Amino acid sequence: MVPFFVQIKCQLGKSYEVANRLADAEVASEIYSTAGEFDLLVKVYVDTGVDIGHFVNEKIQVIPGIQDTRTIITFKAF
């Protein structure tokens, strides 16, 4: 499994709705609310060989209320 993170900027007043939709879609391992430029931080695991760009585009960015995303690819956990 390959882990990566997605920071999500939501439309105003939609953070909890987006978080609930992500949880219902079962695409994320963990979902956190955050302060700052982005509203949510999502930890995702995909099978080796899965195209992360397509995954984010087809499974995350299609959720209503998402305004912007930033994908963070990770290399090693310590």
Q: What is the pLDDT of residues 25-42, one digit of tens each?
A: 999 999 999 999 999 999
pLDDT tens-digit readout, 49-77 = 999 999 999 999 999 999 999 999 999 88
Q: Is 21 left (phi over 0), alpha (psi -120 to 50) or beta?
A: alpha
Please check whether residue 10 lies inside any domain of the structure. yes
Q: Tell me how many domains the chain contains.
A: 1
Tell me which residue range forms the domain holding 26: 2-73
Q: What is the pLDDT of residue 10?
A: 98
Confidence of residue 23 (pLDDT cuts 50, 70, 90): very high
Q: What is the pLDDT of residue 15?
A: 98
Q: What is the CATH number of the domain that holds 36?
A: 3.30.70.920
Please check whether residue 54 lies inside any domain of the structure. yes
Q: Is 75 left (phi over 0), alpha (psi -120 to 50) or beta?
A: alpha
Token pair recorded at residue 24: 């219902």
What is the 3-state composition of the chain as percent helix, strand, coil, each rounded to the nearest 5?
Answer: 25, 35, 40
Please check whether residue 78 lies inside any domain of the structure. no
Please check whether residue 30 lies inside any domain of the structure. yes
* Total residue length of the chain: 78
Please check whether residue 61 lies inside any domain of the structure. yes
Please check whether residue 19 lies inside any domain of the structure. yes
